[in-house]
Protein backbone atom coordinates (compact mmCIF):
# COMPACT_ATOMS: atom_id res chain seq x y z
CA UNK A 1 0.00 0.00 0.00
CA UNK A 2 2.86 2.35 0.72
CA UNK A 3 4.00 2.14 -2.91
CA UNK A 4 0.50 2.89 -4.18
CA UNK A 5 0.14 5.89 -1.90
CA UNK A 6 3.37 7.26 -3.27
CA UNK A 7 2.20 6.56 -6.84
CA UNK A 8 -1.02 8.41 -6.11
CA UNK A 9 1.01 11.30 -4.79
CA UNK A 10 0.12 10.86 -1.15
CA UNK A 11 3.01 10.98 1.22
CA UNK A 12 2.73 8.77 4.28
CA UNK A 13 3.81 11.77 6.30
CA UNK A 14 1.86 14.59 4.66
CA UNK A 15 3.05 18.10 5.18
CA UNK A 16 1.09 20.24 7.56
CA UNK A 17 -0.72 22.15 4.84
CA UNK A 18 -1.79 18.93 3.10
CA UNK A 19 -3.01 17.46 6.36
CA UNK A 20 -5.05 20.58 7.08
CA UNK A 21 -6.59 20.50 3.61
CA UNK A 22 -7.38 16.81 3.82
CA UNK A 23 -9.01 17.20 7.22
CA UNK A 24 -11.32 19.88 5.85
CA UNK A 25 -12.55 17.74 2.95
CA UNK A 26 -14.66 14.63 2.79
CA UNK A 27 -13.02 11.34 1.84
CA UNK A 28 -15.86 9.06 0.82
CA UNK A 29 -15.99 5.30 0.32
CA UNK A 30 -14.92 5.32 -3.33
CA UNK A 31 -12.14 7.82 -2.84
CA UNK A 32 -10.84 5.71 0.02
CA UNK A 33 -10.82 2.64 -2.23
CA UNK A 34 -8.87 4.45 -4.93
CA UNK A 35 -6.38 6.11 -2.61
CA UNK A 36 -5.77 3.03 -0.50
CA UNK A 37 -5.59 0.71 -3.51
CA UNK A 38 -7.91 -1.67 -1.66
CA UNK A 39 -10.91 -1.51 -3.96
CA UNK A 40 -12.32 -4.36 -6.04
CA UNK A 41 -9.36 -4.44 -8.38
CA UNK A 42 -8.63 -7.90 -9.75
CA UNK A 43 -5.21 -7.81 -8.15
CA UNK A 44 -6.96 -7.72 -4.77
CA UNK A 45 -9.80 -10.04 -5.74
CA UNK A 46 -7.38 -12.77 -6.80
CA UNK A 47 -5.37 -12.34 -3.64
CA UNK A 48 -8.48 -13.10 -1.59
CA UNK A 49 -9.74 -15.88 -3.86
CA UNK A 50 -12.56 -13.91 -5.50
CA UNK A 51 -11.07 -13.94 -9.00
CA UNK A 52 -9.02 -16.48 -10.92
CA UNK A 53 -6.87 -13.97 -12.76
CA UNK A 54 -5.30 -10.71 -11.76
CA UNK A 55 -4.95 -9.18 -15.18
CA UNK A 56 -7.15 -6.51 -16.70
CA UNK A 57 -9.85 -8.15 -18.86
CA UNK A 58 -9.80 -5.18 -21.22
CA UNK A 59 -6.10 -4.42 -21.58
CA UNK A 60 -4.61 -7.89 -21.66
CA UNK A 61 -2.83 -10.64 -19.84
CA UNK A 62 0.38 -8.80 -19.15
CA UNK A 63 -1.42 -5.91 -17.42
CA UNK A 64 -2.23 -6.29 -13.72
CA UNK A 65 -5.54 -4.67 -12.83
CA UNK A 66 -4.59 -2.72 -9.73
CA UNK A 67 -5.45 0.81 -8.58
CA UNK A 68 -2.63 2.40 -10.54
CA UNK A 69 -3.68 0.71 -13.77
CA UNK A 70 -7.36 1.55 -13.36
CA UNK A 71 -6.80 5.18 -12.35
CA UNK A 72 -4.03 6.15 -14.74
CA UNK A 73 -3.92 3.69 -17.63
CA UNK A 74 -6.93 1.45 -18.24
CA UNK A 75 -8.62 2.22 -21.53
CA UNK A 76 -12.04 1.29 -20.07
CA UNK A 77 -11.90 4.54 -18.12
CA UNK A 78 -10.42 6.83 -20.77
CA UNK A 79 -13.60 8.92 -20.96
CA UNK A 80 -13.76 9.47 -17.19
CA UNK A 81 -10.02 10.23 -17.08
CA UNK A 82 -10.38 12.68 -19.96
CA UNK A 83 -13.24 14.44 -18.16
CA UNK A 84 -11.13 14.78 -15.01
CA UNK A 85 -8.12 16.03 -16.96
CA UNK A 86 -10.31 18.54 -18.78
CA UNK A 87 -11.58 19.84 -15.45
CA UNK A 88 -8.03 19.95 -14.07
CA UNK A 89 -6.73 21.50 -17.33
CA UNK A 90 -3.77 19.10 -17.45
CA UNK A 91 -2.88 15.47 -17.84
CA UNK A 92 -2.59 13.65 -14.54
CA UNK A 93 0.31 11.22 -14.50
CA UNK A 94 0.84 8.76 -11.63
CA UNK A 95 2.03 10.72 -8.65
CA UNK A 96 -0.13 13.78 -9.25
CA UNK A 97 -3.64 12.69 -8.29
CA UNK A 98 -3.48 13.85 -4.69
CA UNK A 99 -1.55 16.97 -5.62
CA UNK A 100 -4.34 17.90 -8.03
CA UNK A 101 -7.15 17.22 -5.56
CA UNK A 102 -5.46 19.29 -2.89
CA UNK A 103 -5.48 22.41 -5.06
CA UNK A 104 -9.07 23.39 -4.40
CA UNK A 105 -12.51 22.10 -3.54
CA UNK A 106 -13.61 21.88 -7.18
CA UNK A 107 -10.70 19.58 -8.06
CA UNK A 108 -11.20 17.57 -4.88
CA UNK A 109 -14.82 17.01 -5.91
CA UNK A 110 -13.78 16.18 -9.48
CA UNK A 111 -11.34 13.52 -8.25
CA UNK A 112 -13.98 12.15 -5.86
CA UNK A 113 -16.48 11.99 -8.75
CA UNK A 114 -13.87 10.26 -10.93
CA UNK A 115 -13.12 7.74 -8.17
CA UNK A 116 -16.82 7.02 -7.69
CA UNK A 117 -17.35 6.50 -11.43
CA UNK A 118 -14.41 4.07 -11.64
CA UNK A 119 -15.30 2.06 -8.58
CA UNK A 120 -19.02 1.84 -9.33
CA UNK A 121 -18.27 0.58 -12.82
CA UNK A 122 -15.67 -1.91 -11.61
CA UNK A 123 -18.15 -3.17 -9.05
CA UNK A 124 -20.82 -3.51 -11.72
CA UNK A 125 -18.40 -5.43 -13.98
CA UNK A 126 -17.52 -7.68 -11.07
CA UNK A 127 -21.17 -8.37 -10.24
CA UNK A 128 -21.89 -9.28 -13.86
CA UNK A 129 -18.90 -11.63 -13.89
CA UNK A 130 -20.16 -13.66 -10.92
ZN1 LIG B 1 -7.21 -2.09 -18.29
Number of domains comprising the chain: 1
How far is ligand 1, taken at its centre, from the CA of residue 6, in Å? Answer: 21
Q: Is 60 helix (H, G, I), strand (E, B) or coil?
A: strand
How far is ligand 1, taken at its centre, from the CA of residue 53, in Å? Answer: 13
Domain of residue 63: give its range.
2-129
Question: Average pLDDT, whole number, for the chain?
Answer: 86
What pLDDT does 27 receive?
A: 82
How far is ligand 1, taken at its centre, from the CA of residue 24, in Å? Answer: 33
Indicate yes or no: pTM above 0.95. no
pLDDT digits (tens, 9 = 90+) for 56-103: 999 988 999 999 999 999 999 999 999 999 999 999 998 889 999 999
What pLDDT does 61 receive?
A: 85
- As a whole number of angstroms, the distance between CA 75 and CA 101 comes to 22
In the chain, the percentage of residues whose pLDDT exceeds 90 is 66
Amino acid sequence: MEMWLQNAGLSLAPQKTEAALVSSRKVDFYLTQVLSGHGCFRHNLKRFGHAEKYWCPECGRSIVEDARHVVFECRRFARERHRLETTAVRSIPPGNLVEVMLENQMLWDAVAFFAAALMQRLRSIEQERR
